[in-house]
């Protein structure tokens, strides 16, 4: 009997397959049917063995739909498994981890309670937007970094004197870590976002070290691409060569990919936490290490 069973939600089937292979685990898919009223009906394709069950599903848009489906699968898995580990490669609502403006609901606190209530023993996430969000989980949590996997991909590209750039001060450490893998330097731009309108501005500062170098803009997630576009426009004025984007989670909403390319980005490289055209980097080995 294998030690693990991997249960796959519909949003992470390819990653689930790779993870099951890395763990030498049984893989059980789930069948999803959406009714005309929007309700989800989920059926497990096989009965799991009574062992440690890993449920894997990213909660990318439509977030609420994916979240309910994930909780439903975990609840069913708990009927068979002694221990249920929830692997949520992309955790939706991670930006709602505190009360920024009076009256705002801290949705991550609500989600943490939901995961516990359905019987989750441990939760594994990849590059969660804010570590503060994990503090609301009254169960074991593990955040793993995709930076080594992304950096390994970029190390194989023929880049001219690469420089790693964070689009904001909040990602300074991420850029520094990425640069360490590539044995190069990093810089951080200063971004200002209006909390009410969401508009982004880059505080104008000149960087002498940018000229005639290939740049790698590193971020944890790209939603509409506003920050990346503003950063690229600023960097292009500094006479850099090519601009690449490396991110863990490529949501790319509202034609974001097209807009980012139009701003002057050569290529967007993301991981398979969210499947798509840009998800060229596999994080299954990194997730497997967090489970074993």
> Which CATH number does the domain housing residue 120 bear?
3.40.50.2020
What pLDDT score was predicted for residue 273? 98
**Structural domain for 267, as ranges:** 147-272
Q: Specify the 3-state DSSP secondary structure of 51.
A: coil
36 and 130, same structural domain? yes
What pLDDT score was predicted for residue 209? 81
33 and 137, same structural domain? yes
153 and 117, same structural domain? no
Judge whether 278 lies within some domain. no
What tokens does 18 get?
């790779």
Q: Is 205 exposed, middle or buried (0-12, 13-18, 19+ CB in 10 A)?
A: exposed
What pLDDT score was predicted for residue 206? 64
211 and 93, same structural domain? no
251 and 208, same structural domain? yes
Q: Which positions are catalytic?
A: 191
Judge whether 82 lies within some domain. yes
What pLDDT score was predicted for residue 79? 93
159 and 31, same structural domain? no
What pLDDT score was predicted for residue 110? 97
Domain count, the chain: 2
180 and 58, same structural domain? no
214 and 84, same structural domain? no
238 and 158, same structural domain? yes
Judge whether 277 lies within some domain. no
pLDDT, tens digit only, all 292 positions of the chain: 568 999 999 999 999 999 999 999 999 999 999 999 999 999 999 998 878 999 999 999 999 999 999 999 999 999 998 899 999 999 999 999 999 999 999 999 999 999 999 999 999 999 999 899 999 999 999 999 999 999 999 999 999 999 999 998 889 999 999 999 999 999 999 877 666 676 667 766 667 788 889 999 999 999 999 999 999 998 998 888 999 999 999 999 999 999 999 999 999 999 999 999 999 999 999 999 999 8
Judge whether 96 lies within some domain. yes
151 and 141, same structural domain? no
Judge whether 108 lies within some domain. yes
92 and 29, same structural domain? yes
Q: Tell me the residue ranges of DSSP E strands in the chain.
A: 4-8, 26-34, 40-44, 52-56, 84-88, 122-126, 140-144, 163-166, 185-188, 191-193, 200-202, 215-222, 243-250, 265-271, 279-281
Which among 271, 265, 266 is positioned nearest to 284, based on CA atoms?
Answer: 271
Tell me how many degrees the CA angle 122-128-134 measures, rounded to the nearest 5.
50
139 and 195, same structural domain? no
What pLDDT score was predicted for residue 82? 84
């Amino acid at each position: 009997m294998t030690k693990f069973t991997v249960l796959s939600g519909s949003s992470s089937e390819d990653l689930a397959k790779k993870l099951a292979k890395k763990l030498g685990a049984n893989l059980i898919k789930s069948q999803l049917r959406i009714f005309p009223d929007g309700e989800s009906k989920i059926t497990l394709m096989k009965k799991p063995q009574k062992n440690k069950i890993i449920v894997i599903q990213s909660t990318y848009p439509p977030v609420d739909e994916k979240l309910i489906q994930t909780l439903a699968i975990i609840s069913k898995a708990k009927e068979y498994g002694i221990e249920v580990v929830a692997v949520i490669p992309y955790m939706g609502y991670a930006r709602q981890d505190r009360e920024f403006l009076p009256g705002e609901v801290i949705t991550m606190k609500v989600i943490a309670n939901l995961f516990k209530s359905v019987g989750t023993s441990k939760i594994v996430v990849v590059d969660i937007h804010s570590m503060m969000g994990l503090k609301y989980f009254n169960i074991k949590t593990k955040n793993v970094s995709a930076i080594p996997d992304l950096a390994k991909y970029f190390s194989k590209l023929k880049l001219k004197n690469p420089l790693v750039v964070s689009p904001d001060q909040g990602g300074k450490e991420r850029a520094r870590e990425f640069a360490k893998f590539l044995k190069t330097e990093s810089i951080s731009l200063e971004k200002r976002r209006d909390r009410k309108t969401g508009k982004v501005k880059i505080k104008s500062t000149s960087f002498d070290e940018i000229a005639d170098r290939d740049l790698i803009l590193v971020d944890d997630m790209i939603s509409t691409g506003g920050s990346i576009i503003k950063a690229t426009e600023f960097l292009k004025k500094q006479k850099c060569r090519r601009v690449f984007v490396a991110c863990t989670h490529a949501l790319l909403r509202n034609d974001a990919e097209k807009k980012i390319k139009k701003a002057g980005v050569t290529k967007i490289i993301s991981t398979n936490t969210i499947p798509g055209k840009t998800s060229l980097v596999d994080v299954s080995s990194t997730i497997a290490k967090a489970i074993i």
